Amino acid sequence: MTDLTRLTAAETAAAIASGETSAVDVAQAHLDRIAAVDEKVNAFLHVDTEGALAAARAVDERRASGGELGPLAGVPLALKDVFTTEGVPTTCGSKILEGWKPPYDATLTRRLKEAGVVVLGKTNMDEFAMGSSTENSAYGPTGNPWDLTRIPGGSGGGSSAALAAFEAPLAIGTDTGGSIRQPAAVTGTVGVKPTYGAVSRYGLVAFSSSLDQGGPCARTVLDAALLHEAIAGHDPLDSTSIDAPVPAVVEAARAGATGDLRGVRVGVVKEFSGEGYQAGVMQRFTESVELLRELGAEVVELSCPSFTYAMPAYYLIAPSEASSNLARFDAMRYGLRVGDDGTRSAEEVTALTREAGFGAEVKRRIMLGTYALSSGYYDAYYGQAQKVRTLITRDFEAAFGRVDVLVSPTTPTTAFPIGERADDPLAMYLADLCTIPSNLAGNAAMSLPCGLPRGRSAGRSPDHRPGDGRRPALPCRCRGGDRVHRTLGPPAA
């Protein structure tokens, strides 16, 4: 019998459906794998052994009784700890939510369960998804399975590490400024930020509501597409949810795998190169652009001048929204309460609790947002950032008038050592330089592996016009691409 943890999600589902293996065996193999490696990797904050085995048994029973199985029935998944799970701890990587068991499932959680997906547990993350390294977790950093002394990206470093370490074939992330794509890039995995509104935010603990978007993480493009179709779709519980049919991305992924790119116009974003971009990253990126050309694509370089202002605009808009969203952690209704000794007022207890419960990055962003929104500064900071957002959207529109898809490196560097940027917020923010524009405009984007500069993983990031379901499949034949993990396997394995 092959090692069940090495299969793709599509292969796993097929093996379960055919009776070649059982969902319980698959779940157990992954739970064993987690038990063997996660002490080193620290991808999981909580492993739900009982829940996973019960979900797997339900799939096996359904099959035995002749019931229909969905395309991902019985496939294990690692869920970022920012989605609520009824009765299962949800911390968002924060002390302020330690021990909290939500009384309800997020829509995404419910859809996974309905699809027969086996949720193995909750993955580590930068606190409230603020960070690019997972070092901002209150529960310790996650190691990159390729080199445990390096970061697995962030904020969804637990999800990307779980995939790279073969602890799960599928994972869920959330992408506010790159938190799905940058972790994918530095772990040699696939990460998709869907179009804003494609995946319900109900039960996704809010960081920056106009930017947050949940999406699929996997080791192959087809697996990411299968997962997207399971989680996407209109949800009346999220008023920003897109009320339209989900694009046929699985079909597009299969079509893209033929490797024929004739008639496809690809734009290379000029602004995302030069100073700060590692030579190895640029080399692999250039090689994969060349491959797109070989496969028949027409490649042009184009300029999106406002993109250079995306990072500053993002670090005004996201903290502003966060300062408002995180006001809910007030020590009154759920979560941590500190200093309630009968002498202190509610306001004092709130301030003491937030001081004890939030980490440094969350405090920085709350104060930055409070600053940007305060009278006297509002127009110069938040107001101006919103105008930059308009210009970035216009740059995308102009670019998509000329090309079908835009490509750039996902992040300027490979995985940096744990600790290197931990107390240098601005250096950390640079990791999201290339990913942020899509969040501000709301369009879909994904990161694909493009090879291993000096033994570490680099990704590339095609951006897509909003709602275009056919394009994400295009570059899935990039060099290395899907096959990185098949051939090498990460060192921690």
Partner 1 sequence: MPGITREEVSHLARLSRLELQDEELDHFAEQLDVIIGAVARVGEIAADDIPPTSHPLPLTNVMRPDVVRPSLTPEQALSGAPAAEQQRFKVPQILGED
Of the residues 57, 364, 470, 479, which one makes contact with partner 1 according to CB under 8 A: 364
Q: Are strands 265-269 and 445-449 parallel, antiparallel or unpaired?
A: unpaired
Q: Which stretch binds partner 1 (CB under 8 A): 172-180, 376-384, 402-410, 475-483?
A: 376-384
Cβ neighbourhood burial of 343 (10 Å; 0-12, 13-18, 19+)? exposed
Site for partner 1 in 186-205 (CB under 8 A): 196-197
Query: Is residue 155 annotated as a catalytic residue, yes or no?
Result: yes
Query: Is residue 122 annotated as a catalytic residue, yes or no?
Result: no
Our CB check for partner 1 shows the closer of 161 and 316 to be 316
# binding residues, partner 1 (CB under 8 A): 73
Q: Which stretch binds partner 1 (CB under 8 A): 59-67, 278-286, 333-341, 457-465?
A: 333-341
Q: Which stretch binds partner 1 (CB under 8 A): 22-30, 169-177, 180-188, 326-334?
A: 326-334
Nearest-CA neighbor of 88 among 76, 106, 67?
106
Residue 202 CB, nearest approach to partner 1 (Å):
13
Contacts of 251 (CB under 8 A, 6+ apart): none
Marked catalytic residue, from 132, 137, 155, 438: 155
Residue 413 CB, nearest approach to partner 1 (Å):
18
Site string for partner 1, 238-277 (x = CB under 8 A): -xx-x-----------------------------------
Instruction: Identify whether the C-beta of residue 96 lies closer than 8 Å to the C-beta of residue 353.
Output: yes
Of the residues 228, 389, 456, 471, which one makes contact with partner 1 according to CB under 8 A: 389
Residue 320 CB, nearest approach to partner 1 (Å):
10
Marked catalytic residue, from 94, 132, 159, 179: 179
Residue 449 CB, nearest approach to partner 1 (Å):
27
Residue recorded with tokens 């229909």: 68
Please name the helix (run of DSSP H) or strand (run of DSSP E) that holds residue 407, with its range, or none: strand 405-407
How far is it between the farthest Cα atoms of the chain?
73
Cβ neighbourhood burial of 134 (10 Å; 0-12, 13-18, 19+)? buried
Site string for partner 1, 112-151 (x = CB under 8 A): ----------------------------------------
315 is a contact residue toward partner 1 (CB under 8 A): yes
Q: Are strands 459-460 and 405-407 parallel, antiparallel or unpaired?
A: unpaired
Marked catalytic residue, from 22, 80, 193, 200: 80
Q: How far apart are CA 31 and CA 19, in angstroms?
A: 20
Our CB check for partner 1 shows the closer of 9 and 388 to be 388
Residue 136 CB, nearest approach to partner 1 (Å):
14
Q: How far apart are CA 336 and CA 29, in angstroms?
A: 36
Please name the helix (run of DSSP H) or strand (run of DSSP E) that holds residue 369, with its range, or none: helix 360-373
Q: How far apart are CA 380 and CA 366, in angstroms?
A: 18
Q: Which stretch binds partner 1 (CB under 8 A): 129-137, 161-169, 389-397, 406-414?
A: 389-397
Site for partner 1 in 76-115 (CB under 8 A): 100-104
Long-range CB pairs of 273-277, under 8 A, 24+ apart, other chains included? 273/408, 273/409, 276/412, 276/413, 276/430, 276/433, 277/409, 277/412, 277/413
383 is a contact residue toward partner 1 (CB under 8 A): yes
- Helices and strands, number each (H, E), in the chain: 16, 12
CA angle 53, 59, 60 (to 5 degrees): 90
Site for partner 1 in 443-462 (CB under 8 A): 443
Query: Is residue 193 annotated as a catalytic residue, yes or no?
Result: no
Instruction: Identify whether the C-beta of residue 307 lies closer than 8 Å to the C-beta of residue 386.
Output: no
Of the residues 166, 207, 358, 416, which one makes contact with partner 1 according to CB under 8 A: 358
Q: How far apart are CA 461 and CA 450, in angstroms?
A: 10
332 is a contact residue toward partner 1 (CB under 8 A): yes
Our CB check for partner 1 shows the closer of 266 and 316 to be 316
Nearest-CA neighbor of 266 among 399, 406, 397, 402?
406
71 is a contact residue toward partner 1 (CB under 8 A): no
349 is a contact residue toward partner 1 (CB under 8 A): yes
Nearest-CA neighbor of 110 among 88, 142, 136, 140?
88
337 is a contact residue toward partner 1 (CB under 8 A): yes
The residues that are catalytic are 80, 155, 179
